[in-house]
Amino acid sequence: MGRYVIRRLLQMIPVVIGTTFIIYTMVWALPGDPFAGKCGDRACPPAYISMMTAEYNLDEPLLVQYGLYMVDLMQGNFGETFRGTEIVNELLQRYPTTVQLAVIAIVFELVIGIAAGVVAGLRRGGFIDNLVLVSTLVVVSIPVFVIGLVAQIVVGVQLGWLPVTYDGTVYSLILPGFVLGSLSLAYVARLMRTNLVENLRSDYVRTATAKGMPQKRVIGVHTLRNSLIPVVTFIGADFGNLLGGAIVTEGIFNIPGVGNMIFRGIRDREGATVTAAVTILVLVFLLVNLFVDLLYAALDPRIRYE
Amino acid sequence: MATTEPSAAPRPPDAGAAPLLEVDDLHVEFRTRDGVAKAVNGVSYTLSEGETLAVLGESGSGKSVTAQAIMGILDTPPGYVTGGAVRFRGQDLLQLPEEERRAYRGRSVAMIFQDALSSLNPVFPVGWQIAEMFRVHEGLSKKDARARTVDLMDQVRIPAARERVNDYPHQFSGGMRQRIMIAMSIALDPDVLIADEPTTALDVTVQAQIMNLLADLQRERNMGMILITHDLGVVADVADTIEVMYSGRIMEQASVHDIYGAPAHPYTEGLLRSIPRVDLKGQELSAIKGLPPNLSRIPEGCEFRPRCPYAQQICHDTRPPLLEIAPGRFSACHFAQEVLEGDFDNAEQ
Ligand SMILES: Nc1ncnc2c1ncn2[C@@H]1O[C@H](COP(=O)(O)OP(=O)(O)O)[C@@H](O)[C@H]1O
Ligand code: SF4
Ligand SMILES: [Mg+2]
């Protein structure tokens, strides 16, 4: 197991290098002048341009630019934005917010998604089952920004239960967290339901009944444990997606998170900002995936890594 | 009460007189989108203490469904018991509310399944799954249950039981897994053990070992055993009585000795002809031609008629009831006597 983890960690190195290179190249290779519009209405002064050109090695070939940039990155030097703020400060400010948002989304997926799936699966064809099937279908087919706006209007404005936009508190992240998690929540509910229904028909569940186990134990111990395995691993893998995929939700609720930072970075051609933010995302994503694989093995004894 | 057995399962007042297990005119159907499949159509048999009753028949003849109905583990929906009774020492299990019926499972009637790999829970250690019987039914502590479990694994001859209690089902061979199933089923010393094709999924060499183990356990504990199989060869040594099932009905019922001596039903005759026999070495095996009927459209008259080499007009018109044709012998064939006496030997086959 230990060797497996080390091997997986080593495999991450080329993946990180590859992805960051692609991102770096794409951001800087975008057509157009990187200094367009950076200095108000006027063209930027030549002194500024030459300073920035030197800072980012813009004269060098792309590969060299990238290499020099990565060397800086390895030393913890994330560079500055064109406006002169330290990128590392911005990352430190934004990542915690995005992580909080993702965690809230995951909690919703876990609690509501699994509960809805279990109730639906146990009463197949019943009212709750149909309700879950229809509502998850609706959620899956509606764009996130529509869900976000409706949630703002209904929960935030009409009912007044939760803040409409982000005000710096975790409390105001509950509604956006729900919106962010809604799509995966629907998947989790369906996945849970399908697994449960399938496992309820399995031979080992029939064995448990034949052993004279009480119905509660047959479902709660013998069926649930197996049904949860794919769901838990889905949710684990989803954490990575939620971190990077919160752009729309962050926009709707005015949350200064990572998604928002990357979006502005791309728009303003802040290559260093985008690359730094995405590099961290990629790293987190890879680590989460490793964690999920280990979790999978912990839940299902049939899986062993060497 | 005349009984001294330790089983704590509830007993009706007349327990002493009633047979151990009595299946009486059992009917089961599956209501599916493709129609109603009548899987069990009036099966009756009786099992006594220490008796081994073999249920024989091709795949799809309703053997497992009958067993599931006895255990109360039918898939409902789509499966429903539509008639009959399953009496354990006189108590009709089908009339009991679920919670009372549960008390009989594992304790009075236990079951072994064909595929031990899929029948054991993949995510729990085998010892845990066996110990669960003691913990849930008898409220034993973890430690005591574990001690009993190791003991039981020894009894079913699993080598190094103490080291292997915490292993998972997939870490065992097929034969060892079936031993674990067996250990689990006999944990509470049941009065009736139903073994549904316990060796079908195993290698030939292992099959004999498992059958011997089952026979030994059955004798030691004086259990009534229902041995379901589609393999006549398996039952010859261990069974006392044979029920031949076809299309959800008993076609012939007799002692092993009688059936092997001379079958009294063309279907049994066909089954016997399809097993390899030492005395007929060199002869080609003949499987019964044709397929069992679709259970949603069982033909009028005799169910076996489309495949029967002796069929006459009466077989088309009237379904033959299961009748006693000799002391202790029952056959559901209009020409049972003729088949029994070999008078049909010249019929085209
Ligand atoms: N879960 C089920 N759903 C629908 N039909 C079933 C189910 N189980 C059994 N049946 C029907 O019952 C028939 C008899 O099945 P079974 O008792 O398993 O046969 P076998 O004699 O091989 O054990 C099958 O051919 C099928 O038509
Ligand atoms: S009743 Fe007729 S068709 Fe049926 S088994 Fe006997 S001879 Fe064959
Ligand atoms: Mg079967």
In this complex, which of B113, B115, B170 lies closest to A302 when CB atoms are compared? B170
> Is B265:B333 a contact under the CB 8 Å cutoff?
yes
Nearest-atom number in ligand 2 for the CA of B315 is: 2
pLDDT, tens digit, 9 for 90 and up, residues B223-244: 999 999 877 777 888 899 999 9
Centre of ligand 2 from the C-alpha of residue B300, in Å: 12
Three-state DSSP at B78 gives coil
> Is A272:A80 a contact under the CB 8 Å cutoff?
yes
Residue A35 has a pLDDT of 66
> Is B139:A214 a contact under the CB 8 Å cutoff?
no
CATH 1.10.3720.10 residue spans of chain A: 95-299
Distance CA A106, CA A108 (A): 5
Q: Does A226 touch chain B (CB under 8 A)?
A: yes
Distance CA B84, CA B93 (A): 11
Question: Could A211 and B184 be called an inter-chain contact, meaning their C-beta atoms sit closer than 8 Å?
Answer: yes
* Statement: residue B44 has pLDDT above 70: yes
Question: Could A299 and B123 be called an inter-chain contact, meaning their C-beta atoms sit closer than 8 Å?
Answer: yes
DSSP A152-206: IIIIIIIS--S-SS--SSSGGGHHHHHHHHHHHHHHHHHHHHHHHHHHHTSHHHH
| Among A211, A232, A295, A303, the residue to mutate for chain B (most B Cβ within 10 A) | A211
Nearest CA in chain A to B186: A211
Residue B7 has a pLDDT of 47
* Statement: residue B3 has pLDDT above 50: no
Question: Could A229 and B133 be called an inter-chain contact, meaning their C-beta atoms sit closer than 8 Å?
Answer: no
Q: Residue B53, Cβ neighbours under 10 Å: how many?
A: 23
Length in residues, chain B: 349
> Is A298:B118 a contact under the CB 8 Å cutoff?
no
pLDDT, tens digit, 9 for 90 and up, residues B243-300: 999 999 999 999 998 988 889 999 998 888 876 655 554 555 567 888 888 888 888 8
Centre of ligand 3 from the C-alpha of residue B65, in Å: 7
Ligand with smallest separation from the Cα of B65: 1
Q: How far is CA A69 from CA A61, A78, A93, A272, B323, in A?
A: 12, 8, 22, 8, 93
pLDDT, tens digit, 9 for 90 and up, residues A71-96: 887 787 777 776 777 888 888 888 89
Helices A62-74 and A2-29: crossing angle in degrees, nearest 10, is: 130
pLDDT, tens digit, 9 for 90 and up, residues A190-224: 999 999 999 999 999 999 999 999 999 999 999 99
The verdict on the CB of residue B30 being under 6 Å from ligand 1 is yes
Cα angle B35, B40, B43 (rounded to 5 degrees) comes to: 160
Residues with Cβ < 8 Å from A115, sequence gap 6 or more?
A: none
Neighbouring C-alpha atoms within 13 Å toward the C-beta of A292 = 18
The verdict on the CB of residue B249 being under 6 Å from ligand 1 is no
The whole-chain average pLDDT of chain B stands at: 87
> Is B274:B331 a contact under the CB 8 Å cutoff?
no
- For the sheet with B79-88, list strands across it: B35-47, B21-32, B79-88, B91-92
Residue B274 has a pLDDT of 76
Residue B16 has a pLDDT of 59
* Statement: residue B343 has pLDDT above 90: no
Report which of B121, B199, B120, B186 is spatially closest to residue B153, judged by C-alpha positions: B186
Residue B110 has a pLDDT of 96
Nearest CA in chain B to A224: B123
> Is A133:A120 a contact under the CB 8 Å cutoff?
yes
Residues with Cβ < 8 Å from B175, sequence gap 6 or more?
A: B202, B203, B206, B209, B210
Three-state DSSP at A210 gives helix
Nearest CA in chain B to A299: B123
Nearest-atom number in ligand 1 for the CA of B75 is: 1
From B65, B251, B295, the mutation candidate for ligand 1 (largest count of ligand atoms within 8 A of CB) is: B65
Ligand with smallest separation from the Cα of B55: 1
Give the model's confidence band at B156: pLDDT under 50 very low, under 70 low, under 90 confident, else very high.
Answer: very high
Q: Residue A175, Cβ neighbours under 10 Å: how many?
A: 24
What is the number of CB-based contacts under 8 A between chain A and chain B? 73
Mean pLDDT value across residues B168-175: 93
The Cα of B66 is separated from the nearest Cα of chain A by a number of Å equal to 14
Chain A residues inside the 8 Å CB shell of B132 = 211, 213
Residue B11 has a pLDDT of 52
Centre of ligand 2 from the C-alpha of residue B340, in Å: 13
* Statement: residue A46 has pLDDT above 90: no
Locate the DSSP E strands across chain B. Answer: 21-32, 35-47, 52-56, 79-88, 91-92, 109-112, 192-196, 224-229, 241-246, 249-255, 323-326, 329-331
Distance CA B243, CA B253 (A): 5
Mean pLDDT value across residues A107-132: 91
Percentage above 70 pLDDT, chain A: 94
Give the model's confidence band at A38: pLDDT under 50 very low, under 70 low, under 90 confident, else very high.
Answer: low
Counting beta carbons within 10 angstroms of the beta carbon of residue A69, is it exposed (0 to 12), middle (13 to 18) or buried (19 or more)? buried
| Among B114, B117, B119, B182, the residue to mutate for chain A (most A Cβ within 10 A) | B119
Residue B81 has a pLDDT of 94
Residue A34 has a pLDDT of 62
What distance, in Å, lies between the first and last C-alpha atoms of chain A?
6
Which is more confidently placed, B204 or A187? A187
> Is B78:A124 a contact under the CB 8 Å cutoff?
no
Gyration radius of chain A's alpha carbons: 24
Question: Could B111 and A210 be called an inter-chain contact, meaning their C-beta atoms sit closer than 8 Å?
Answer: yes
Q: Residue A153, Cβ neighbours under 10 Å: how many?
A: 12
Ordered structural domains, chain B, with CATH: 21-239 (3.40.50.300), 246-341 (no CATH)
The whole-chain average pLDDT of chain A stands at: 85
Q: Which two tokens stand for residue B274?
A: 């399809």
Distance CA B111, CA B104 (A): 12
Preceding peptide of B198 cis, ω within 30°: no
Which is more confidently placed, B5 or B17? B17
Mean pLDDT value across residues B158-186: 93
Question: Could B122 and A300 be called an inter-chain contact, meaning their C-beta atoms sit closer than 8 Å?
Answer: yes
Question: Could A211 and B132 be called an inter-chain contact, meaning their C-beta atoms sit closer than 8 Å?
Answer: yes
Residue B342 has a pLDDT of 79
Q: Which two tokens stand for residue A72?
A: 């800086």
Nearest-atom number in ligand 1 for the CA of B63 is: 21
Ligand with smallest separation from the Cα of B339: 2
* Statement: residue A248 has pLDDT above 80: yes
Q: How far is CA A93 from CA A88, A277, B206, in A?
A: 9, 12, 66
Helices A114-122 and A174-200: crossing angle in degrees, nearest 10, is: 30
Q: Does A206 touch chain B (CB under 8 A)?
A: yes
* Statement: residue B86 has pLDDT above 90: yes
Ligand with smallest separation from the Cα of B115: 3
What is the CB < 6 Å shell around ligand 2? B 266, 302, 304-305, 308, 310-311, 315, 320, 333-335
Question: Could B123 and A226 be called an inter-chain contact, meaning their C-beta atoms sit closer than 8 Å?
Answer: yes
* Statement: residue A157 has pLDDT above 70: yes
Which is more confidently placed, B177 or B8? B177
- The dotted CATH code for A95-299 is 1.10.3720.10
Percentage above 90 pLDDT, chain A: 26
Nearest-atom number in ligand 2 for the CA of B320 is: 1
Report which of B257, B349, B279 is spatially closest to residue B311, judged by C-alpha positions: B349
From B267, B289, B308, B340, the mutation candidate for ligand 2 (largest count of ligand atoms within 8 A of CB) is: B308
> Is B223:B193 a contact under the CB 8 Å cutoff?
yes
Three-state DSSP at B100 gives helix
> Is B246:B269 a contact under the CB 8 Å cutoff?
no
Mean pLDDT value across residues B33-47: 92
